[in-house]
Protein backbone atom coordinates (compact mmCIF):
# COMPACT_ATOMS: atom_id res chain seq x y z
CA UNK A 1 0.00 0.00 0.00
CA UNK A 2 1.40 3.39 -0.98
CA UNK A 3 1.90 5.94 1.75
CA UNK A 4 -0.41 8.94 1.91
CA UNK A 5 1.02 12.34 1.08
CA UNK A 6 0.06 14.85 3.78
CA UNK A 7 0.58 18.59 4.09
CA UNK A 8 2.69 19.71 7.06
CA UNK A 9 4.48 22.82 8.20
CA UNK A 10 7.98 22.45 9.61
CA UNK A 11 6.75 23.02 13.15
CA UNK A 12 4.01 20.44 12.76
CA UNK A 13 6.40 17.84 11.43
CA UNK A 14 8.73 18.37 14.40
CA UNK A 15 5.87 17.25 16.62
CA UNK A 16 5.20 14.26 14.37
CA UNK A 17 8.85 13.24 14.52
CA UNK A 18 9.01 13.68 18.29
CA UNK A 19 6.00 11.44 18.88
CA UNK A 20 7.39 8.84 16.47
CA UNK A 21 10.72 8.91 18.34
CA UNK A 22 9.00 8.16 21.63
CA UNK A 23 8.74 11.63 23.16
CA UNK A 24 6.17 11.48 25.93
CA UNK A 25 6.77 14.75 27.78
CA UNK A 26 6.83 18.33 26.53
CA UNK A 27 7.21 21.48 28.58
CA UNK A 28 7.34 24.88 26.96
CA UNK A 29 6.25 28.48 26.82
CA UNK A 30 4.67 30.00 23.69
CA UNK A 31 6.96 32.13 21.54
CA UNK A 32 6.85 33.06 17.86
CA UNK A 33 7.77 31.41 15.52
CA UNK A 34 7.90 28.06 17.38
CA UNK A 35 4.46 28.05 19.06
CA UNK A 36 2.92 25.54 16.67
CA UNK A 37 5.29 22.87 17.97
CA UNK A 38 3.80 23.24 21.46
CA UNK A 39 0.27 23.51 20.09
CA UNK A 40 0.55 20.24 18.18
CA UNK A 41 2.30 18.45 21.05
CA UNK A 42 -0.52 19.52 23.39
CA UNK A 43 -2.97 17.67 21.14
CA UNK A 44 -0.87 14.62 20.29
CA UNK A 45 0.73 13.72 23.62
CA UNK A 46 -2.49 12.86 25.49
CA UNK A 47 -3.41 10.51 22.65
CA UNK A 48 -0.29 8.38 23.28
CA UNK A 49 -0.25 8.52 27.06
CA UNK A 50 2.16 11.44 27.25
CA UNK A 51 2.07 14.70 29.19
CA UNK A 52 2.11 18.30 28.02
CA UNK A 53 2.64 21.23 30.37
CA UNK A 54 2.87 24.95 29.68
CA UNK A 55 5.36 26.33 32.16
CA UNK A 56 5.60 29.86 33.54
CA UNK A 57 8.74 30.65 31.51
CA UNK A 58 11.52 29.15 29.43
CA UNK A 59 13.88 28.50 32.34
CA UNK A 60 11.22 26.44 34.07
CA UNK A 61 10.43 24.64 30.81
CA UNK A 62 14.01 23.49 30.53
CA UNK A 63 14.01 22.40 34.17
CA UNK A 64 10.83 20.42 33.64
CA UNK A 65 12.13 18.40 30.71
CA UNK A 66 15.33 17.63 32.65
CA UNK A 67 13.29 16.30 35.57
CA UNK A 68 11.03 14.24 33.33
CA UNK A 69 14.04 12.78 31.53
CA UNK A 70 15.63 11.75 34.83
CA UNK A 71 12.37 9.97 35.58
CA UNK A 72 12.69 7.99 32.34
CA UNK A 73 10.74 9.91 29.73
CA UNK A 74 11.97 11.12 26.37
CA UNK A 75 11.48 14.88 26.56
CA UNK A 76 11.44 17.98 24.39
CA UNK A 77 10.94 21.73 24.58
CA UNK A 78 10.67 24.32 21.81
CA UNK A 79 11.46 28.01 21.73
CA UNK A 80 12.99 30.86 19.76
CA UNK A 81 15.31 33.82 20.22
CA UNK A 82 14.89 35.29 23.72
CA UNK A 83 13.51 31.99 25.02
CA UNK A 84 16.61 30.13 23.84
CA UNK A 85 18.73 32.65 25.78
CA UNK A 86 16.69 32.00 28.91
CA UNK A 87 17.18 28.24 28.61
CA UNK A 88 20.97 28.41 28.60
CA UNK A 89 21.58 28.04 32.35
CA UNK A 90 19.55 24.85 32.58
CA UNK A 91 20.96 23.67 29.26
CA UNK A 92 24.33 23.76 30.99
CA UNK A 93 22.86 21.78 33.88
CA UNK A 94 21.60 19.13 31.46
CA UNK A 95 25.06 18.97 29.92
CA UNK A 96 27.04 18.53 33.13
CA UNK A 97 24.44 16.11 34.55
CA UNK A 98 24.34 14.24 31.21
CA UNK A 99 20.57 14.31 30.87
CA UNK A 100 19.12 13.35 27.45
CA UNK A 101 16.64 15.90 26.07
CA UNK A 102 15.81 17.72 22.83
CA UNK A 103 15.63 21.50 22.49
CA UNK A 104 14.03 22.96 19.36
CA UNK A 105 15.11 26.50 18.51
CA UNK A 106 13.23 28.13 15.64
CA UNK A 107 15.58 30.99 14.86
CA UNK A 108 14.25 34.51 14.32
CA UNK A 109 15.80 37.94 13.92
CA UNK A 110 17.53 39.40 16.96
CA UNK A 111 19.05 40.49 19.23
CA UNK A 112 16.52 40.98 22.04
CA UNK A 113 12.92 40.87 20.77
CA UNK A 114 14.24 41.58 17.30
CA UNK A 115 12.04 40.31 14.45
CA UNK A 116 9.62 37.79 15.98
CA UNK A 117 8.03 36.78 12.67
CA UNK A 118 11.05 36.85 10.37
CA UNK A 119 13.80 34.29 9.70
CA UNK A 120 17.40 34.36 10.83
CA UNK A 121 20.32 31.99 11.29
CA UNK A 122 21.97 34.04 14.01
CA UNK A 123 21.79 31.48 16.84
CA UNK A 124 24.24 28.91 15.48
CA UNK A 125 27.11 30.09 17.67
CA UNK A 126 24.78 30.41 20.64
CA UNK A 127 23.80 26.77 20.07
CA UNK A 128 27.46 25.84 20.39
CA UNK A 129 28.62 28.18 23.15
CA UNK A 130 25.46 29.69 24.66
CA UNK A 131 25.84 28.03 28.02
CA UNK A 132 29.04 28.81 29.88
CA UNK A 133 32.00 26.52 30.39
CA UNK A 134 33.57 23.86 28.19
CA UNK A 135 30.86 21.47 27.11
CA UNK A 136 30.02 19.17 24.21
CA UNK A 137 26.83 19.71 22.26
CA UNK A 138 25.05 18.24 19.25
CA UNK A 139 23.02 20.52 16.98
CA UNK A 140 21.19 19.54 13.79
CA UNK A 141 20.12 21.79 10.89
CA UNK A 142 17.68 20.08 8.50
CA UNK A 143 16.55 21.80 5.30
CA UNK A 144 13.54 19.86 3.99
CA UNK A 145 10.24 18.67 5.47
CA UNK A 146 10.91 14.93 5.44
CA UNK A 147 14.41 15.67 6.67
CA UNK A 148 12.97 17.65 9.59
CA UNK A 149 11.03 14.53 10.56
CA UNK A 150 14.08 12.29 10.22
CA UNK A 151 16.38 14.68 12.08
CA UNK A 152 13.88 15.12 14.90
CA UNK A 153 13.88 11.36 15.36
CA UNK A 154 17.66 11.34 15.13
CA UNK A 155 17.88 14.12 17.71
CA UNK A 156 16.11 11.89 20.24
CA UNK A 157 18.23 8.90 19.27
CA UNK A 158 21.47 10.85 19.69
CA UNK A 159 20.30 12.34 22.99
CA UNK A 160 19.52 8.90 24.38
CA UNK A 161 22.60 7.22 22.94
CA UNK A 162 25.10 9.77 24.23
CA UNK A 163 23.31 11.09 27.34
CA UNK A 164 23.34 14.66 26.11
CA UNK A 165 21.06 17.54 25.17
CA UNK A 166 20.55 17.80 21.40
CA UNK A 167 19.50 21.05 19.72
CA UNK A 168 17.32 21.06 16.60
CA UNK A 169 17.88 24.34 14.75
CA UNK A 170 15.17 25.47 12.36
CA UNK A 171 14.30 28.99 11.26
CA UNK A 172 11.06 30.82 10.58
CA UNK A 173 11.09 29.88 6.89
CA UNK A 174 11.22 26.16 7.61
CA UNK A 175 8.87 26.43 10.59
CA UNK A 176 6.02 27.91 8.58
CA UNK A 177 6.69 26.51 5.13
CA UNK A 178 4.12 23.87 4.15
CA UNK A 179 5.00 20.90 1.93
CA UNK A 180 3.54 17.53 1.14
CA UNK A 181 5.36 14.75 2.97
CA UNK A 182 5.11 10.96 3.06
CA UNK A 183 5.99 9.87 6.57
CA UNK A 184 7.48 6.42 7.21
CA UNK A 185 5.56 3.65 8.90
CA UNK A 186 6.47 3.13 12.57
CA UNK A 187 8.28 -0.14 11.87
CA UNK A 188 10.59 1.69 9.44
CA UNK A 189 11.85 4.12 12.10
CA UNK A 190 14.98 3.31 14.07
CA UNK A 191 14.47 4.01 17.78
CA UNK A 192 17.37 4.21 20.25
CA UNK A 193 16.85 4.05 24.01
CA UNK A 194 19.29 4.96 26.76
CA UNK A 195 21.73 2.37 28.03
CA UNK A 196 20.60 1.01 31.39
CA UNK A 197 22.80 -0.21 34.27
CA UNK A 198 23.49 -3.92 34.59
CA UNK A 199 24.76 -3.78 38.19
CA UNK A 200 22.70 -3.70 41.39
CA UNK A 201 21.89 -0.25 42.87
CA UNK A 202 24.60 -0.42 45.51
CA UNK A 203 27.27 -0.79 42.77
CA UNK A 204 25.90 1.79 40.35
CA UNK A 205 28.10 4.77 39.45
CA UNK A 206 26.06 7.15 37.29
CA UNK A 207 29.07 9.04 35.92
CA UNK A 208 31.72 6.35 35.57
CA UNK A 209 33.83 5.99 32.47
CA UNK A 210 33.01 3.16 30.06
CA UNK A 211 34.41 1.83 26.80
CA UNK A 212 32.26 4.28 24.81
CA UNK A 213 32.54 7.03 27.48
CA UNK A 214 28.75 7.03 27.92
CA UNK A 215 27.74 5.82 31.40
CA UNK A 216 24.56 3.74 31.78
CA UNK A 217 21.62 5.84 32.99
CA UNK A 218 19.20 4.58 35.63
CA UNK A 219 15.78 6.18 35.79
CA UNK A 220 14.55 7.62 39.04
CA UNK A 221 11.97 5.51 40.89
CA UNK A 222 13.55 2.24 39.71
CA UNK A 223 15.49 1.61 42.92
CA UNK A 224 18.66 3.43 41.89
CA UNK A 225 19.29 6.41 44.15
CA UNK A 226 21.97 8.80 42.97
CA UNK A 227 22.96 12.42 43.26
CA UNK A 228 22.41 14.88 40.40
CA UNK A 229 24.05 18.29 40.63
CA UNK A 230 25.23 21.19 38.53
CA UNK A 231 28.48 21.19 40.49
CA UNK A 232 31.54 19.36 39.26
CA UNK A 233 31.18 15.87 40.68
CA UNK A 234 32.76 12.45 40.98
CA UNK A 235 31.55 9.17 39.46
CA UNK A 236 28.83 8.92 42.10
CA UNK A 237 27.53 12.40 41.31
CA UNK A 238 28.77 13.89 44.58
CA UNK A 239 30.32 17.39 44.38
CA UNK A 240 34.12 17.56 44.33
CA UNK A 241 36.90 20.05 43.62
CA UNK A 242 39.56 17.37 43.19
CA UNK A 243 41.52 18.38 40.07
CA UNK A 244 42.14 14.87 38.76
CA UNK A 245 38.49 13.85 39.11
CA UNK A 246 37.02 17.06 37.68
CA UNK A 247 39.42 17.05 34.73
CA UNK A 248 38.89 13.38 33.88
CA UNK A 249 35.10 13.56 33.95
CA UNK A 250 35.00 16.75 31.90
CA UNK A 251 37.32 15.22 29.32
CA UNK A 252 35.17 12.08 29.25
CA UNK A 253 32.07 14.15 28.50
CA UNK A 254 33.86 15.69 25.55
CA UNK A 255 35.21 12.34 24.32
CA UNK A 256 31.77 10.71 24.25
CA UNK A 257 31.01 13.11 21.38
CA UNK A 258 34.44 13.46 19.76
CA UNK A 259 35.03 9.70 19.63
CA UNK A 260 31.76 9.05 17.80
CA UNK A 261 31.84 11.59 14.99
CA UNK A 262 31.29 8.87 12.39
CA UNK A 263 27.90 8.24 13.97
CA UNK A 264 26.97 11.84 14.76
CA UNK A 265 28.09 13.81 11.71
CA UNK A 266 25.84 13.98 8.68
CA UNK A 267 26.01 16.08 5.52
CA UNK A 268 24.99 16.26 1.86
CA UNK A 269 27.36 16.70 -1.08
CA UNK A 270 26.48 17.79 -4.61
CA UNK A 271 28.85 18.02 -7.61
CA UNK A 272 32.01 17.94 -5.50
CA UNK A 273 34.00 15.61 -7.77
CA UNK A 274 35.11 18.32 -10.21
CA UNK A 275 34.09 21.46 -8.32
CA UNK A 276 36.41 24.46 -8.31
CA UNK A 277 34.07 26.51 -6.12
CA UNK A 278 31.91 25.15 -3.31
CA UNK A 279 28.87 26.73 -1.71
CA UNK A 280 28.55 25.72 1.95
CA UNK A 281 25.06 26.32 3.30
CA UNK A 282 22.70 24.96 5.94
CA UNK A 283 19.04 25.13 6.95
CA UNK A 284 16.63 27.01 4.71
CA UNK A 285 19.48 28.89 3.02
CA UNK A 286 20.71 25.56 1.66
CA UNK A 287 17.51 25.33 -0.37
CA UNK A 288 18.44 28.57 -2.14
CA UNK A 289 22.03 27.35 -2.46
CA UNK A 290 20.92 24.10 -4.10
CA UNK A 291 18.88 25.97 -6.71
CA UNK A 292 21.78 28.33 -7.32
CA UNK A 293 24.30 25.51 -7.75
CA UNK A 294 22.02 23.67 -10.19
CA UNK A 295 21.55 26.84 -12.25
CA UNK A 296 25.27 27.54 -12.30
CA UNK A 297 26.00 23.96 -13.37
CA UNK A 298 23.61 24.36 -16.31
CA UNK A 299 25.67 27.39 -17.29
CA UNK A 300 28.89 25.40 -17.14
CA UNK A 301 30.28 26.75 -13.87
CA UNK A 302 32.16 24.07 -11.90
CA UNK A 303 30.52 24.66 -8.57
CA UNK A 304 29.45 22.20 -5.88
CA UNK A 305 27.41 22.19 -2.69
CA UNK A 306 28.33 21.05 0.82
CA UNK A 307 25.41 21.06 3.25
CA UNK A 308 26.06 20.29 6.92
CA UNK A 309 23.07 18.56 8.49
CA UNK A 310 24.95 18.14 11.75
CA UNK A 311 26.19 21.69 12.40
CA UNK A 312 27.73 20.86 15.81
CA UNK A 313 30.09 19.14 16.03
CA UNK A 314 31.16 20.88 12.85
CA UNK A 315 32.35 18.54 10.05
CA UNK A 316 35.89 19.89 10.15
CA UNK A 317 37.65 17.02 8.40
CA UNK A 318 35.34 17.16 5.39
CA UNK A 319 35.58 20.95 5.07
CA UNK A 320 39.38 20.71 5.30
CA UNK A 321 39.38 18.22 2.39
CA UNK A 322 37.20 20.54 0.33
CA UNK A 323 39.50 23.50 1.02
CA UNK A 324 42.42 21.53 -0.38
CA UNK A 325 40.59 20.84 -3.67
CA UNK A 326 38.83 24.13 -4.53
CA UNK A 327 39.96 27.73 -4.82
CA UNK A 328 36.89 29.35 -3.19
CA UNK A 329 34.25 28.45 -0.63
CA UNK A 330 31.15 30.66 -0.55
CA UNK A 331 29.13 30.63 2.69
CA UNK A 332 25.64 32.19 2.53
CA UNK A 333 23.89 32.55 5.90
CA UNK A 334 21.25 34.80 7.43
CA UNK A 335 23.55 36.50 9.91
CA UNK A 336 26.54 38.83 9.80
CA UNK A 337 29.08 36.01 9.78
CA UNK A 338 29.11 32.96 12.05
CA UNK A 339 29.70 29.63 10.32
CA UNK A 340 31.83 31.45 7.75
CA UNK A 341 34.33 32.02 10.58
CA UNK A 342 34.52 28.27 11.23
CA UNK A 343 35.11 27.66 7.52
CA UNK A 344 37.87 30.30 7.45
CA UNK A 345 39.55 28.70 10.46
CA UNK A 346 39.48 25.24 8.91
CA UNK A 347 40.38 26.29 5.34
CA UNK A 348 43.41 28.26 6.56
CA UNK A 349 45.12 29.53 3.42
CA UNK A 350 44.11 26.63 1.20
CA UNK A 351 40.98 28.31 -0.18
CA UNK A 352 39.48 31.78 -0.24
CA UNK A 353 36.38 31.95 1.94
CA UNK A 354 33.64 34.45 1.08
CA UNK A 355 30.50 35.11 3.08
CA UNK A 356 27.12 36.18 1.79
CA UNK A 357 25.63 37.69 4.89
CA UNK A 358 22.39 39.53 5.43
CA UNK A 359 20.01 40.24 8.27
CA UNK A 360 16.70 42.04 8.31
CA UNK A 361 14.38 39.08 8.03
CA UNK A 362 14.60 38.36 4.29
CA UNK A 363 15.87 34.96 3.06
CA UNK A 364 18.94 34.81 0.83
CA UNK A 365 17.71 34.22 -2.71
CA UNK A 366 19.32 31.90 -5.28
CA UNK A 367 20.12 34.81 -7.59
CA UNK A 368 22.26 36.45 -4.90
CA UNK A 369 24.33 33.27 -4.58
CA UNK A 370 24.56 32.90 -8.38
CA UNK A 371 25.80 36.46 -8.72
CA UNK A 372 28.47 36.09 -6.03
CA UNK A 373 29.76 32.80 -7.41
CA UNK A 374 30.07 34.27 -10.91
CA UNK A 375 32.21 37.06 -9.50
CA UNK A 376 34.82 34.57 -8.30
CA UNK A 377 34.46 31.87 -10.96
- Rounded to 5 degrees, φ, ψ at 250 are -65, -40
Predicted TM-score (pTM) above 0.95: yes
| Average pLDDT over all residues of the chain | 97
Strand 165-171, strand 101-109: pairing: parallel
Q: What angle do CA 288, 294, 298 make, to 5 degrees?
A: 145
pLDDT tens, residue by residue, 259-268: 999 999 999 9
Residue 1, pLDDT score? 45
pLDDT tens, residue by residue, 51-61: 999 999 999 99
The DSSP call for residue 98 is T
- Among candidate residues 81, 33, 24, 87, the one with its CA nearest the CA of residue 55: 87
State the distance between the two ends of the chain, measured CA to CA, in whole angstroms. 48
Cα(154)–Cα(149) distance, rounded to whole angstroms? 9
Q: SS3 for 38?
A: helix
- Rounded to 5 degrees, φ, ψ at 183 are -85, 150
Residue ranges of domains in the chain, CATH in brackets: 6-188 (3.40.50.970), 268-376 (3.40.50.920)
Question: How buried is residue 299: exposed, middle or buried, by Cβ count under 10 Å (0-12/13-18/19+)?
Answer: exposed
pLDDT 10s digit of each residue in the chain, 377 long?
A: 457 789 999 999 999 999 999 999 999 999 999 999 999 999 999 999 999 999 999 999 999 999 999 999 999 999 999 999 999 999 999 999 999 999 999 999 999 999 999 999 999 999 999 999 999 999 999 999 999 999 999 999 999 999 999 999 999 999 999 999 999 999 999 999 999 999 999 999 999 999 999 999 999 999 999 999 999 999 999 999 999 999 999 999 999 999 999 999 999 999 999 999 999 999 999 999 999 999 999 999 999 999 999 999 999 999 999 999 999 999 999 999 999 999 999 999 999 999 999 999 999 999 999 999 999 99
Amino acid sequence: MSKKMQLYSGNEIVAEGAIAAGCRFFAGYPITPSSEVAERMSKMLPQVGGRFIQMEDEIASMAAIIGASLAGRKTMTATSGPGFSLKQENLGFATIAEVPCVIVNVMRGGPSTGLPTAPSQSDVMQARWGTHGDHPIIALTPSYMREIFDETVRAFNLAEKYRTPVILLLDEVLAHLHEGVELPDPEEIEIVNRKKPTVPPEEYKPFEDTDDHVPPMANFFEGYRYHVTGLSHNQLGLPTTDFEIVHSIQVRRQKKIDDHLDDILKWEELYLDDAEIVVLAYGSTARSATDAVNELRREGVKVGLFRPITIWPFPEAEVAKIAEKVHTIVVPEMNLGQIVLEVERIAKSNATVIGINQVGGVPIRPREIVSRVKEVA
